[in-house]
Amino acid sequence: MVDHGSILVTGAAGQLGAVGRTVTGLLLDRGLPVRAMVRREDERAAALRAAGAEVVVGNLLEPADVYRVVSGCQRVYFGMSVSTGYLEATVTMAAVAREVGVNALVNMSQMTVSQMSIQHTTPSPQQRQHWLSEQTLAWSSLPVVTVRPTVFLEGFFLPLTGPSVRDRGRIELPFGQGKTNPVAAADVARVVAAALADPGPHLGRIYELTGPRSQDMHGVAQVLGSAEP
Ligand SMILES: NC(=O)c1ccc[n+]([C@@H]2O[C@H](COP(=O)([O-])OP(=O)(O)OC[C@H]3O[C@@H](n4cnc5c(N)ncnc54)[C@H](OP(=O)(O)O)[C@@H]3O)[C@@H](O)[C@H]2O)c1
């Protein structure tokens, strides 16, 4: 059997959407070796190690760290919290992945990028970072799989709606009449894990991931209101 080495999962200790952490578990469940990258040794790192991952500590903004953690891996999930250094981290990862000869890089992006172009960007720094990062990876000629989810249910939508629904029976979010279609971060992780486990059919593809239905906050309220306690 061909040895593809471990699969590198960055941002593996995450807590917001925790896609990296869930992907780590899903790959381990499939019997695949996982190198889980974290920023520091803490109880989250210990839990990943206890689950069977090889845990490595590093900073995605440090090229030497990135080279150390990618070396020996042919498949990589690249995901981290968006910050001012996000584009820099993407460029660093792309340079290292080319040097190491990565066979598949699954890149976490955002659905908003689907509506962006040179003439149509947004004022959101976060969305721009993702758009520029996708541009960079396209120029890199790396074998990339792009995942563009809408807003995550678990890490964003539910925490922001939960308290006001519980305390005042209201959804208090600045959506106006706008519609949204949240997706479960766990489902996003399933897509990422499937692409990492067998990248061939997915290379070069862009996956736009949504929930089952786009609706305004009145529609969301109806769904929440009809849920069994
Ligand atoms: N939230 C949403 O609704 C949503 C929707 C669509 C797309 N996305 C995209 O999803 C991505 C975030 O995914 P997620 O929610 O699964 O992530 P997450 O749970 O927030 O985890 C991100 C991880 O990145 C790590 N990290 C941050 N900076 C780092 C650095 N310099 N070096 C090494 N690790 C670093 C963090 O480490 P620490 O834990 O140590 O801080 C954290 O563990 C973002 O790109 C975001 O734009 C999010």
Task: Dump pLDDT digits (tens) for 107-116.
Answer: 999 999 999 9
C-alpha 229/C-alpha 131 separation (Å) is: 41
Q: Which of 40, 60, 77, 81 to mutate to test the pocket of ligand 1 (most atoms within 8 A of CB)?
A: 81
Residue 227's pLDDT is: 82
Stretches where the chain sits below pLDDT 70 are 1-3
Residue 2's pLDDT is: 64
Residue 207's pLDDT is: 98
Residue 158's pLDDT is: 86
Q: Is 202 exposed, middle or buried (0-12, 13-18, 19+ CB in 10 A)?
A: buried
Q: Which of 23, 39, 82 to mutate to test the pocket of ligand 1 (most atoms within 8 A of CB)?
A: 39
Residue 4's pLDDT is: 74
C-alpha 11/C-alpha 146 separation (Å) is: 16
Residue 225's pLDDT is: 84
Residue 160 host element (H or E): helix 158-168
Taking CB atoms within 8 Å and a gap of at least 24, the contacts of 172-181 are: 173/217, 175/216, 175/217, 177/216, 178/216, 179/214, 179/215, 179/216, 179/219, 180/150, 180/151, 180/214, 180/215, 180/220, 181/150, 181/210, 181/211, 181/212, 181/213, 181/214, 181/215
Ligand 1 centre distance from Cα of residue 17 (Å): 7
Pocket of ligand 1, beta carbon within 6 A = 11, 13-20, 39, 59-61, 79-82, 108, 110, 149, 151-152, 155-156
The residue written with tokens 């790959």 in the block is 27
Residue 1's pLDDT is: 55
**What residue's CA is closest to ligand 1, atom 39?**
14
177 φ, ψ (degrees, to nearest 5): -90, 5
